[in-house]
Chains A and B, each alone.
Chain A
Amino acid sequence: MGTQAAIELKNITKTFGSVVANKDVCLTVNRGEILSILGENGSGKTTLMNMISGIYFPDHGQIFIDGNEVVIRSPKDAFNYKIGMIHQHFKLVDVFSAAENIILGLDGEDKFNVKQSAEKIKKISEQYGFEIDPNKKIYEMSVSEKQTVEIIKVLYRGADILILDEPTAVLTPQEAQKLFSVLRRMRDDGKAIIIITHKLHEVLSLSDKVAVLRKGEYIGTVTTKDTDESQLTEMMVGKKVDLNISRSKPESTADRLEVKNISCINREGVKLLDDVTFTARSGEILGIAGIAGSGQRELLESIAGLQKLNEGNILYHDPKTGKIDNLRDKTPMQIRDLGVRLSFVPEDRLGMGLVGNMDIIDNMMLRSYRKGKSIFLQRKQPKDLAKKIIEDLEVVTPDANTPVRRLSGGNVQKVLVGREIAASPTVLMAAYPVRGLDINSSYLIYNLLNEQKENGVAVIFVGEDLDVLLELCDRIVVISSGKISGAVDARTATKEEIGLLMTKNCGGETNEH
Chain B
Amino acid sequence: MIVAFIQRAVVQGIPLLFGSTGEIITEKSGNLNLGTAGVMYVGGISGVIGAFLYEQSVETVNPALAVLIPLFSSILGSAFMGLLYSFLTVTLRANQNVTGLALTTFGVGFGNFFGGSLIKLLDSDTPSITLTQTSNCFKQTLPFADKLGWFGDIFLSYSFLAYAAIIIALLASFFFNRTRAGLHLRAVGENPATADAAGINVSKYKYLSTCIGSIIAGFGGLYYVMDYACGVWSNDGFGDRGWLAIALVIFAVWKPNFSILGSILFGGLFIIHNYIPNLSISMQEMFKMTPYVVTIIVLIIISMRRKRETQPPASLGLSYFREER
Please determine whether A93 and B196 come into contact, CB atoms closer than 8 angstroms: no
Binds B, one of A84-92, A246-254, A304-312, A483-491: A84-92
State whether the Cβ of A108 lies closer than 8 Å to any Cβ in chain B.
yes
State whether the Cβ of B3 lies closer than 8 Å to any Cβ in chain A.
no
Given contacts A110-B181, A111-B178, contact A91 B311 (CB under 8 A): no
Please determine whether B306 and A268 come into contact, CB atoms closer than 8 angstroms: yes
Please determine whether A100 and B183 come into contact, CB atoms closer than 8 angstroms: yes
Known contacts A105-B187, A112-B180, then 20 further A-B pairs from the complex at CB < 8 Å, ordered by chain A residue: A16-B323, A55-B197, A55-B322, A75-B196, A87-B197, A91-B194, A93-B186, A93-B187, A94-B190, A94-B308, A95-B311, A96-B186, A96-B187, A100-B183, A103-B180, A104-B198, A104-B200, A105-B195, A111-B179, A137-B308
Most chain A C-beta atoms within 10 Å of own C-beta, residue among B197, B200, B308 = B197
| B 195-222 binary contact with A (CB < 8 Å = 1; else 0) | 1111110000000000000000000000
State whether the Cβ of B133 lies closer than 8 Å to any Cβ in chain A.
no
Q: How far is the CA of A268 from the CA of B303 in the complex (A)?
A: 12
State whether the Cβ of A79 lies closer than 8 Å to any Cβ in chain B.
yes
Please determine whether A96 and B199 come into contact, CB atoms closer than 8 angstroms: no
Q: How many residues from B make CB contacts under 8 Å with A? A: 25
Chain A residues within an 8 Å CB radius of B186: 93, 96
A-B complex: 9 closest residue pairs judged by Cβ atoms: A105-B198, A76-B199, A91-B194, A105-B199, A93-B190, A91-B197, A75-B199, A104-B198, A112-B180
Q: List 5 A-B contacts (CB under 8 A).
A: A74-B199, A75-B199, A93-B195, A104-B198, A110-B179
**Least Cβ distance of A145 to chain B in Å?**
16
Chain A residues within an 8 Å CB radius of B308: 94-95, 137, 139
**Least Cβ distance of B303 to chain A in Å?**
11
Q: How far is the CA of A79 from the CA of B199 in the complex (A)?
A: 8
State whether the Cβ of A56 lies closer than 8 Å to any Cβ in chain B.
yes
Chain B residues within an 8 Å CB radius of A100: 183
State whether the Cβ of A109 lies closer than 8 Å to any Cβ in chain B.
yes
Please determine whether B179 and A112 come into contact, CB atoms closer than 8 angstroms: yes
**Least Cβ distance of B185 to chain A in Å?**
11
Is chain A's interface secondary structure helix, strand, loop, or mixed overall? Answer: loop
Q: How far is the CA of A177 from the CA of B181 in the complex (A)?
A: 38
- Chain B residues 157 to 178 lying within 8 A of chain A, measured CB to CB, are 178
Please determine whether B180 and A109 come into contact, CB atoms closer than 8 angstroms: yes
Given contacts A55-B322, A96-B190, A268-B306, contact A75 B180 (CB under 8 A): no
Q: How far is the CA of A294 from the CA of B180 in the complex (A)?
A: 37
Please determine whether A91 and B191 come into contact, CB atoms closer than 8 angstroms: yes
State whether the Cβ of B59 lies closer than 8 Å to any Cβ in chain A.
no
Chain A residues within an 8 Å CB radius of B200: 104-105
Chain B residues within an 8 Å CB radius of A109: 180
State whether the Cβ of B118 lies closer than 8 Å to any Cβ in chain A.
no
Q: How far is the CA of A94 from the CA of B187 in the complex (A)?
A: 9
Q: A104 touches which one: B178, B194, B323 (CB < 8 A)?
A: B194
Q: Which residue of A lies closest to B305 (CB)?
A: A268
Q: How far is the CA of A111 from the CA of B200 in the complex (A)?
A: 17
Given contacts A76-B199, A93-B191, A95-B311, contact A104 B306 (CB under 8 A): no
Please determine whether B184 and A95 come into contact, CB atoms closer than 8 angstroms: no
Chain B residues within an 8 Å CB radius of A104: 183-184, 187, 194-195, 198, 200
Q: Which residue of A lies closest to B180 (CB)?
A: A112
Please determine whether A95 and B314 come into contact, CB atoms closer than 8 angstroms: yes
Please determine whether B180 and A111 come into contact, CB atoms closer than 8 angstroms: yes
Chain B residues within an 8 Å CB radius of A111: 178-180
Q: Which residue of A lies closest to B194 (CB)?
A: A91
Chain B residues within an 8 Å CB radius of A106: 180
Chain A residues within an 8 Å CB radius of B125: none
Chain B residues within an 8 Å CB radius of A87: 197
State whether the Cβ of B240 lies closer than 8 Å to any Cβ in chain A.
no
Q: How far is the CA of A110 from the CA of B177 in the complex (A)?
A: 12
Chain A residues within an 8 Å CB radius of B191: 91-94
Q: How far is the CA of A109 from the CA of B178 in the complex (A)?
A: 11
Q: Which residue of A lies closest to B191 (CB)?
A: A93
| B 42-71 binary contact with A (CB < 8 Å = 1; else 0) | 000000000000000000000000000000
Most chain B C-beta atoms within 10 Å of own C-beta, residue among A53, A108, A110 = A110
- Chain A residues 97 to 129 lying within 8 A of chain B, measured CB to CB, are 100-101, 103-112
Q: Which residue of B lies closest to A153 (CB)?
A: B198
Please determine whether B183 and A95 come into contact, CB atoms closer than 8 angstroms: no
| A 26-64 binary contact with B (CB < 8 Å = 1; else 0) | 000000000000000000000000000101100000000
Please determine whether A105 and B181 come into contact, CB atoms closer than 8 angstroms: no
Please determine whether B193 and A91 come into contact, CB atoms closer than 8 angstroms: yes
**Least Cβ distance of A95 to chain B in Å?**
5
Given contacts A56-B323, A95-B314, contact A85 B197 (CB under 8 A): yes
State whether the Cβ of B309 lies closer than 8 Å to any Cβ in chain A.
yes
Q: How far is the CA of A162 from the CA of B281 in the complex (A)?
A: 70
Q: Which residue of A lies closest to B175 (CB)?
A: A110
**Least Cβ distance of A408 to chain B in Å?**
11
**Least Cβ distance of A195 to chain B in Å?**
18
Most chain B C-beta atoms within 10 Å of own C-beta, residue among A53, A91, A108 = A91
**Least Cβ distance of A32 to chain B in Å?**
26
**Least Cβ distance of B184 to chain A in Å?**
7
Q: Which residue of B lies closest to A91 (CB)?
A: B194
**Least Cβ distance of B63 to chain A in Å?**
35
Q: B194 touches which one: A16, A93, A108, A110 (CB < 8 A)?
A: A93
- Chain A residues 133 to 185 lying within 8 A of chain B, measured CB to CB, are 137, 139
**Least Cβ distance of A91 to chain B in Å?**
4
Most chain A C-beta atoms within 10 Å of own C-beta, residue among B184, B186, B191 = B191
Chain B residues within an 8 Å CB radius of A139: 308
Q: Which residue of B lies closest to A46 (CB)?
A: B325
Please determine whether A75 and B198 come into contact, CB atoms closer than 8 angstroms: yes
Chain B residues within an 8 Å CB radius of A95: 190, 308-309, 311, 314
- Chain A residues 323 to 377 lying within 8 A of chain B, measured CB to CB, are none
| A 459-488 binary contact with B (CB < 8 Å = 1; else 0) | 000000000000000000000000000000
Chain A residues within an 8 Å CB radius of B309: 95
Q: How far is the CA of A196 from the CA of B198 in the complex (A)?
A: 20
Q: How far is the CA of A76 from the CA of B306 in the complex (A)?
A: 35
Please determine whether B194 and A92 come into contact, CB atoms closer than 8 angstroms: yes
Chain A residues within an 8 Å CB radius of B180: 103, 106-112
| A 69-84 binary contact with B (CB < 8 Å = 1; else 0) | 0000011100100000
**Least Cβ distance of A278 to chain B in Å?**
32
Q: How far is the CA of A208 from the CA of B183 in the complex (A)?
A: 40
**Least Cβ distance of B110 to chain A in Å?**
37
Q: Which residue of A lies closest to B196 (CB)?
A: A75
Chain A residues within an 8 Å CB radius of B198: 75, 91, 104-105
**Least Cβ distance of B195 to chain A in Å?**
7
Q: How far is the CA of A101 from the CA of B197 in the complex (A)?
A: 12
Most chain B C-beta atoms within 10 Å of own C-beta, residue among A76, A87, A105, A110 = A105
| B 287-319 binary contact with A (CB < 8 Å = 1; else 0) | 000000000000000000010110100100000
Most chain B C-beta atoms within 10 Å of own C-beta, residue among A93, A107, A108, A110 = A93
Q: A112 touches which one: B183, B197, B311, B322 (CB < 8 A)?
A: B183
